[in-house]
């Protein structure tokens, strides 16, 4: 069975350095009919190569006096395709104006012969590069991959799918990379769906070694996810020197794509960084829903890796704690509430702290209301595990966004961040820890549907138990924008605290938070209102509901509280209710709700305390 754009016989890949056009080596011989048919428009000089679908010639564009590559479809295939269908699909390329896509100069039909014209590229195809050097240096492979992904993202955004991405269709001229033959596979695919004679002629849609499982099954509605899979195969081949699956026949290769799990790239090339391995292997998931959902998302992740690598010589993480960003791509923003979506958030970013420590254990922190990632900078420096601390959108340490989000949208963004971190870093154990209102956010996220997979344990540091414990959030929920009204409310709040602990806590929060936000309270107010809202409903027990759900979903849950009057009273009442009614559920374990003696709210942020609690949570996983 011959393939779309089948690669040339070995004799056509002699090891000499002649110029290339679309990846073909120089050959000779020009049919006399071709020279006469195109006379006056193109002067055909010599044959460059022949594949399963077409023959390529070097020609001169007489009108513009430039070298071009003239690609003429095989006569039998041309008659089956038909000029109208072929020209409709091949003209897709004419609308793809991008530096990493080979442009279409012209196309047409002359006496039943279908052709199209592309630039004559002096360089080599990726296939030639791989044959010449084998596996590529990591930096070179990632550079090529970035330019391919950039071209794909552009095409996919315009609804154009390649369908036959492979090394023969990747052209390299110096440091420049471009994708060739957009539209060709689509034309053949449409023809094949209505004319089985094409298949009997031996034309398959795609190249078996690079076919996605759904493509290998012959599904008619193949979409951009097939290109994502092929992109992963290209990356795997560049970095390891071989494709993940081999077979003696096209049928064996198709079966491998459908049924076999690829060997990890890191196993084929042990020096591969974990983040690169995860980036590539996610492309090769059998189910399209488990792959990168767009070339744009893949490109964003790859660009982040290259950016971090550029900052760290040799790819070895620098010691210390670093600020990084999580891009809010279109695919992430599509998950937000469309009715209230502010378009300014699209293409934005969320900041997070990363200690870049090599560890199989990942700990992700969520800050309190008005806070940010800096609350965990000290513990990230001393904790012997990989630490990420996310800053909620609009709560950035500097240059804060003025877009307020609902708490439900904050949960969507936090879910996206955690999902991405787990997929990118590939840890064996994942813990999430939240402080104050951030602890509420973590509980609500982990109790929401669909369940967030990949989390092993959760550490809640002073979550809210009742309306009486919502000191700062309740205060911020009442803030006004007008300074005169704000001052009046703050004065009233100062006299409303029922206890000295409440008064001290409230003022510490407010002074720190209002200085940070410089009186712009809307982002804070909306967030605080949503934190408080569940506790305002008569008879509601939000903490009990979250606790019961999360304790059934995770291997371990640990809730730690300060020794404050309101908190101690609330926990005492909760323990009595559980004793009488079992409200905490069957998964409640002794030691999962803890009061730390002689502590206040902010003492729970002390690095030594957090390290101790993280170690206790890890120990409980061993016994789970």
- What pLDDT does 104 receive? 83
Total tally of structural domains belonging to the chain? 4
Please check whether residue 477 lies inside any domain of the structure: yes
Pairing of strands 106-110, 54-61: unpaired
Please say if the pLDDT value at position 395 is more than 60. yes
Alpha carbon distances (Å) from 184 to 63, 75, 258, 269, 425: 26, 15, 25, 34, 38
CA distance 130 to 136: 7
Query: Residue 559: left (phi > 0), alpha (psi -120 to 50), or beta?
Result: beta
> 86 and 53 in contact (C-beta within 8 Å)?
no
pLDDT digits (tens, 9 = 90+) for 450-465: 999 999 999 999 999 9
**pLDDT value of residue 182:** 79
What percent of the chain shows pLDDT beyond 90?
41
Model pLDDT for residues 509-564, shown as the tens digit of each residue: 666 676 776 656 778 888 889 999 999 888 779 999 999 999 999 999 999 999 88
3-state secondary structure at position 19: coil
Looking at the fold, whether 179 and 202 belong to one and the same domain comes out as yes
**Residue 161 lies inside a defined structural domain of this protein:** yes
Residue 218 confidence (pLDDT): 77
pLDDT of residue 581: 93
Q: Does the pLDDT of residue 479 top 70, yes or no? A: no
148: which 2 tokens? 């391919």
Over range 564-592, report the average pLDDT: 91
Q: Are residues 109 and 132 in the same domain?
A: no
Between 38 and 606, where is the model more confident?
606
- Mean pLDDT to the nearest integer, 118-146: 90
| CA-CA-CA-CA torsion sign (560, 562, 563, 568) | negative
Per-residue model confidence (pLDDT) at position 552: 96
Whether residue 321 is contained in a domain is answered as: no
CATH code: domain of residue 610: 3.40.50.1820
Domain, as residue range, for 506: 471-536
Mean pLDDT, the chain, integer: 81
Phi, psi of 461 (to 5 degrees): -105, 100
Cβ neighbour number for residue 595 with a 10 Å cutoff = 15
pLDDT at 310 over 60: no
Same-domain check for residues 460 and 547: yes
Contact between 126 and 170 under an 8 Å Cβ cutoff? The reply is yes
Q: Is 14 helix (H, G, I), strand (E, B) or coil?
A: coil
Name which residue leads in pLDDT, 321 or 417. 417
Per-residue pLDDT of 327-336, as tens digits, reads: 998 889 999 9
- Indicate whether 110 and 50 sit together in one domain: yes
Confirm whether 312 is domain-assigned.
no
Q: Which pLDDT score is estimated for 435?
A: 96
* pTM for the whole structure: 0.52
Residues 394, 294 within the same domain? no
Mark whether 239 and 387 lie in a shared domain.
no
Three-state secondary structure of 548-610: HHHHHHCCEEEEEECCCHHHHHHHHHHHHHHHHHCCCCCCCCCCCEEECCCCCHHHHHCHHHH
Closest CA to 5 of 125, 112, 99: 125
Q: In the predicted model, is pLDDT for residue 4 greater than 80?
A: no
pLDDT of residue 12: 31
CB 424 within 8 A of CB 277: no
Select the more confidently predicted residue: 275 or 368. 368
173 falls in which pLDDT band (50, 70, 90)?
confident
Q: In whole angstroms, how large is the CA radius of gyration of the chain?
A: 30
In a domain, 52, yes or no: yes
Average pLDDT over residues 567-571: 92
CATH code for the domain in which residue 134 is found:
1.10.510.10
Answer yes or no: do 453 and 493 share one domain.
Answer: no
Tokens, residue 282? 């996610």
Among 510, 536, 562, where does a domain finish?
536
Tens digit of pLDDT for each residue in 209-245? 999 999 888 776 789 999 999 999 999 999 999 999 9
Q: Residue 19's pLDDT is what?
A: 37
Q: How far out from the chain centre does Cα 554 lie? A: 24
- Same domain for 152 and 100, yes or no, is no
Let me know whether 17 and 70 are in one domain.
yes
Q: What pLDDT score was predicted for residue 369?
A: 84
Known catalytic residue: 290?
Answer: no
Residue 360: inside a domain, yes or no?
A: yes
User: Tokens standing for 380?
Assistant: 């990230």
Burial class (CB in 10 A: 0-12, 13-18, 19+), 63: exposed
Q: Is the pLDDT of residue 192 over 60?
A: no
| SS3 category, 257 | helix
Looking at residue 108, its pLDDT comes to 77
Q: Which residue has the tokens 């813990």?
A: 431
Tell me what the mean pLDDT of segment 286-291 comes to.
Answer: 92
Residue 355: pLDDT band (50, 70, 90) is very high
Question: What average pLDDT score do residues 90-96 get?
Answer: 75
Distance in angstroms (rounded) separating the CA atoms of residues 85 and 188: 9
Q: Are strands 66-73 and 42-50 parallel, antiparallel or unpaired?
A: unpaired
Domain boundary among 119, 134, 153: 119
Confidence of residue 16 (pLDDT cuts 50, 70, 90): very low
Same domain as 531, residue 416:
no
pLDDT number for residue 107: 79
pLDDT tens sequence across 46-59: 888 776 677 888 88
How far is CA 391 from each of CA 162, 307, 333, 355, 370, rounded to the nearest angstrom? Answer: 38, 20, 17, 15, 10
**467 pLDDT higher than 60:** yes
pLDDT band at 421 (very low <50, low <70, confident <90, very high): very high
With bands split at pLDDT 50, 70 and 90, how would you rate the model's confidence at 399?
A: low
pLDDT of residue 21: 42
Catalytic, out of 61, 150, 164, 440? 164
Q: Which residue has tokens 């200085």?
A: 515
Q: How confident is the model at residue 111 (pLDDT cuts 50, 70, 90)?
A: confident
Q: Quick check: 481 pLDDT over 90?
A: no
What was the pLDDT predicted at 507? 66
- pLDDT score for 298: 94
Average pLDDT, integer, range 11-36: 45
CA distance 586 to 560: 20
Establish if 313 belongs to a structural domain.
no
Inform me whether the pLDDT recorded for 189 exceeds 70: no
Are 268 and 129 within one domain?
A: yes
Which of 88, 119, 150 terminates a domain? The answer is 119
Q: Picking from 36-50, 91-105, 187-201, 586-600, which range would have the lowest pLDDT averaged per residue? A: 187-201
Do 351 and 429 lie in one domain? The reply is yes
Asked if residue 314 is part of any domain, the answer here is no
């Amino acid at each position: 069975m011959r393939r779309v754009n089948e690669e040339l016989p070995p004799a056509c890949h002699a090891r000499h350095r002649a110029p290339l056009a679309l990846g073909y080596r120089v050959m000779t011989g020009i049919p006399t009919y071709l020279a006469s048919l195109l006379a006056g428009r193109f002067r055909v000089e010599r044959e460059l190569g022949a594949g399963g679908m077409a023959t390529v010639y070097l020609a001169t564009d007489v009108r513009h006096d430039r070298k071009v590559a003239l690609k003429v479809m095989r006569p039998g295939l041309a008659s089956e395709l038909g000029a109208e269908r072929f020209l409709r699909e091949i003209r897709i390329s004419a609308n793809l104006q991008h530096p990493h896509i080979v442009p279409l100069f012209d196309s047409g039909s002359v006496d039943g012969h279908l052709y199209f014209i592309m630039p004559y590229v002096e360089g080599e195809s990726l296939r030639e590069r791989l044959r010449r050097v084998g596996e590529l240096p990591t930096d070179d492979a990632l550079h090529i991959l970035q330019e391919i992904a950039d071209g794909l993202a552009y095409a996919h955004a315009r609804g154009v799918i390649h369908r036959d991405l492979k090394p023969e269709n990747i052209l390299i001229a110096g440091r420049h990379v471009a994708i060739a033959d957009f539209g060709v596979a689509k034309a053949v695919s449409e023809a094949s769906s209505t004319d089985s004679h094409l298949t009997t002629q031996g034309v398959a849609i795609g190249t078996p070694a690079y076919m996605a499982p759904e493509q290998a099954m012959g599904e008619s509605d193949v979409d951009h996810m097939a290109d994502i899979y092929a992109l992963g195969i290209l990356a795997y081949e560049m970095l390891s020197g071989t494709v993940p699956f081999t077979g003696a026949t096209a049928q064996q290769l198709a079966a491998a794509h459908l049924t076999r799990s690829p060997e990890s790239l890191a196993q084929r090339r042990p020096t591969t960084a974990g983040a690169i391995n995860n980036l590539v292997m996610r492309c090769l998931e059998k189910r399209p829903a488990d792959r990168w959902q767009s070339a744009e998302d893949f490109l964003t992740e790859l660009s982040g890796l290259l950016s971090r690598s550029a900052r760290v010589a040799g790819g070895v993480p620098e010691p210390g704690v670093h600020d990084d960003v999580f891009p809010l791509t279109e695919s992430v923003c599509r998950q937000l509430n469309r009715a209230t979506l502010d378009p300014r958030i699209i293409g934005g970013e969320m900041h997070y702290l990363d200690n870049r420590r090599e560890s199989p254990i990942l700990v992700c922190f969520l800050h309190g209301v008005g806070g940010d990632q800096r609350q965990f900078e000290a513990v990230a420096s001393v904790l012997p595990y990989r630490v990420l601390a996310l800053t909620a959108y609009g709560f950035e340490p500097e240059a804060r966004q003025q877009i307020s989000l609902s708490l439900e949208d904050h949960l969507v963004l936090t879910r996206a961040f955690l999902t991405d971190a787990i997929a990118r870093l590939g840890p064996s154990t994942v813990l999430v820890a939240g402080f104050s209102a951030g602890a509420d956010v973590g509980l609500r996220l982990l109790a929401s549907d669909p369940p967030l997979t990949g989390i092993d344990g959760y550490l809640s540091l002073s979550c809210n138990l009742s309306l009486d414990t919502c000191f700062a959030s309740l205060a911020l929920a009442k803030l006004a924008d007008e300074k005169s009204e704000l001052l009046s409310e703050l004065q009233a709040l100062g006299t409303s605290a029922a206890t000295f602990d409440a008064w001290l806590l409230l003022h510490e929060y407010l002074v720190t938070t209002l200085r940070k936000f410089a009186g712009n309270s809307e982002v804070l107010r909306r967030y605080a209102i949503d934190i408080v809202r569940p506790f305002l409903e008569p008879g509601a027990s939000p903490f009990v509901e979250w606790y019961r759900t999360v304790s059934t979903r995770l291997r371990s849950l640990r809730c730690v509280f300060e020794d404050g009057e309101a908190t101690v009273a609330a926990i005492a009442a909760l323990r009595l209710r559980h004793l009488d009614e079992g409200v905490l559920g069957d998964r409640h374990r002794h030691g999962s709700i803890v009061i730390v003696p002689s502590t206040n709210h902010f003492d729970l942020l002390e690095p030594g305390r957090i390290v101790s609690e993280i170690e206790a949570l890890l120990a409980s996983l061993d016994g789970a």
